[in-house]
Amino acid sequence: MKYIESMQNTRVKQWKKLLGKKERDKSRKFLVEGFHLVEEALKNGLVEDIILKEGTDLPVKWDVELADLFTVHNEVFAALADTDTPQGIIAVCHKPRFELEEGSLETVLLIDRVQDPGNIGTMIRTADAAGFSAVILGDGCADPYSPKVVRSTQGSLFHLPILKGNLGDWIERLQTGGVKVLGTALQGAKPYREIERADRFALLVGNEGSGVSTELLQKTDQNVYIPIYGKSESLNVAVAAGILMYGLKN
């Protein structure tokens, strides 16, 4: 266990950079905060460094053989933490790498330009719960490795493949593989309960304000909507994705 006191320490400066997307993309590393999430990362063999706030103990049961351990001054810890009341533990992790076998994609969530980190994280968590095979993020989505997304996934980003890619290409690829692609739209769409539940399908959801882009909606096999029975104009995108993932799945 090494102790680091100074904010000027080279390693601290390097860790701090991981709060930004640029460094996360370049290094393929990211920060994970809190006991539950660090434990999930350890189980998946992704942890490089464990950073403890002074006075915080490592759970005895944990297997941390492969990680470097550091205790840091409160001020250093506060500079790395993203939560208001941190639990005193942060890990530097490698981004998981996923190999996708073409035929293995049975149910997929495609996300078009959803910007709120909490919404992205919650959708990843729900896709995991609903037993989806993968989540694919198009351009303009919040970075899935930002601290807030990581936290909202509650560990699900270690469980299922999260990919980035061109959604137009992905729709074609899925269709070629026999997966029906369902977009979400208000016009030219069917109420989701009129769609037969299926074993294999992809669900495409979109931006908080403008929904899925018209261009992508034209490529889908069918578009669906959730009926609004009251006076609200729309649903939160993460709630809508949850209703549809569970409502369409066999």
Minimal distance, residue 208 CB to a copy of itself, in Å: 10
Closest approach of Cβ 7 to a copy of itself, in Å? 26
Residue placing its CB nearer to a copy of itself in the complex, 103 or 230: 230
Q: What would the two tokens of residue 49 be?
A: 């460094």
- As measured in angstroms, the least distance from the Cβ of 241 to a copy of itself is 8
Nearest distance from C-beta of residue 174 to a copy of itself, angstroms: 19
User: In this structure, what is the dihedral angle of CA atoms 146, 149, 150, 155, given to the nearest 10 degrees?
Assistant: -160
Q: Are 225 and 191 in contact (CB under 8 A)?
A: yes
Contact residues for 164 (Cβ-Cβ < 8 A; gap 6+): 136, 137, 138, 141, 144
- Which has the closest alpha carbon to 196: 220, 174, 224? 224
Instruction: Pick between residue 12 and residue 93 the one whose CB is nearest to a copy of itself.
Output: 93
CB of 154 to a copy of itself, least distance (A): 6
User: In terms of Cα–Cα distance, which of 140, 142, 148 is closest to 81?
Assistant: 148
CA 234 from centre of chain: 23
The footprint of a copy of itself (CB under 8 A) covers: 118, 122, 125-132, 152, 154-156, 159-160, 226, 228-236, 238-240, 242-243, 246-247, 249
By DSSP bridging, strand 107-112 and strand 201-206 are parallel
User: What is the DSSP secondary structure assignment for residue 26, as one 8-state letter?
Assistant: H
Using CA atoms in the order 68, 72, 76, 80, what is the torsion angle rounded to 10 degrees? 40
